[in-house]
Amino acid sequence: MLILLLEMAKSSGKYTSPKSPSTVYQRGYMAVAFPEHVPLPTTWNEDEIRLLDGTSLHAAVAAKFNSLHREFQTLKERTQDLSWAQEMFWKDENLKVEDWFLIDSWYRSRCMEMPIGGTTMVPFLDLLNHSSKPNCHYVMNEDEEIELKLNPGSVVETGQELFINYGPEKSAGEMLFNYGFVEKSTLFEFLIGHIEQSVMMPAVMPDQDHKLTCYGRRFGTPKMKISGKKDKLKLESAFVMFLMLEEKDGMEIKTIKDEDGDEDYLAMWQGIDVTDRLDKLELILKRHPRKDLFDIRSMFIYHTLINHQMGLMQAAEDFEAEFEDDKLSEDEVQIHKAASELRAIESTILDSAMDLVQEWVSSHPRKMKELTG
C-alpha cells in the first residue's frame, strides 16, 4: 500500500516531470487500473453500511474501518518529521484519510494469490475482469514470471474480452468485501464476529466476562463460523466451546497478575492449564463422557447466535424498504442491490444452520431435558 501511496503522489504530476516517459506510463496505468472510486463496503456511507446488518460483513467492515484509521494515524506519526514526506503528504494536507481508504480499496480489489509471494499485485493482469466461467487463467513459470494462458477448449476472437476467476473458493461475502460485487457461490461460509455481543448472559454463565478476557488476549475477537455445503454444514466456535463449560464440569477460571501487574485469567480444565489451547477444546473434549451434553449446550448458544443474526438481517431488510428507488443515484442502486444479494445468500445459510441446530436438538431429547431441567 505504501508503494501505491507513492505512485498516487507521483501520478498527480506535482512531484515528477510530466515529460518523463515512465511518468506518462504510470499516469496512464493509474488512470485505468486505479479509478477515483471503488465501491467496496469500506467506502460506503453509514446508511449503506446499515444494509449489511446481520451479514458476515457487518463486523468485518467495522473492524477494517477502524484498522485503516489506525494505519493512517501511524503513517502520519512516523513520517511527518521526514522532509520529503512533509512536503509530499502533510504540508498542505495533500494526503487525507479518505486517500488511504481509496488506496486500500485499490489494493484489495487488484491483488491476486500467487504460488510464490502470496497476495501480490501484477500490473495489467489486474485489469482482467472476473467471470465464474473464465476463458483464461494465470500461472507462474519456472522463471517466476506470470503467464496468462487460455483455458482448455476456450476460443477467443479478436476484440473479445478476457476473463479470469478471482477465486472459486471465495464466499459471497468475500467477493463483496474485496471486489465490490456479489456472486452466488456453491461455498457456504458465514463468519460471525464479536459473538460475545449476542450471547453474554451473566445469569446463565457467571464467569463469561473472565472467559472473554482470557480468550480474547490469546485468540482475539470471539467468532463463530458456518461452513460447508448446504446439505452438510458445520458450526465452529472455540469460544462457544469454552463458554459452555462450567465449574462443575471441571473448568475453573483462575485470577492472576500479568507482567505489568494487570489482572488476567487462566483456564484450568480438570486441574490442567489449557489457557493456550482453548482453540483445541473440541479435540480435548472429544472422548469426554458428557460430550453429548456439552454439544447440546453449544447448540443452545449457536441457536442464540443464529437467531440474533436473523433479527439483525430482518432489521436491515426493513431499513432497505424505507428507500425509494427512483431517488437513488445509479451508484447507490448498485450498492443497495449488492447488499440485498448478500443478505439473500447469507439468510439461506442462516436458515440452513438453524435447521441443523433444531434437528440436532430434536434428536437428543433426553440430553435436552437434562440441560433445561
Quote the pTM value.
0.84
Q: What is the pLDDT of residues 287-303, one digit of tens each?
A: 999 988 898 889 989 99
| Residue linked to cell 466456535 | 237
Q: What is the pLDDT of residues 69-90, one digit of tens each?
A: 999 999 999 999 999 889 888 9
With a pLDDT cut of 70, the percent of the chain lying above it is 87
Q: Name which of 24-38, 41-55, 218-232 the model is least confident about.
A: 24-38
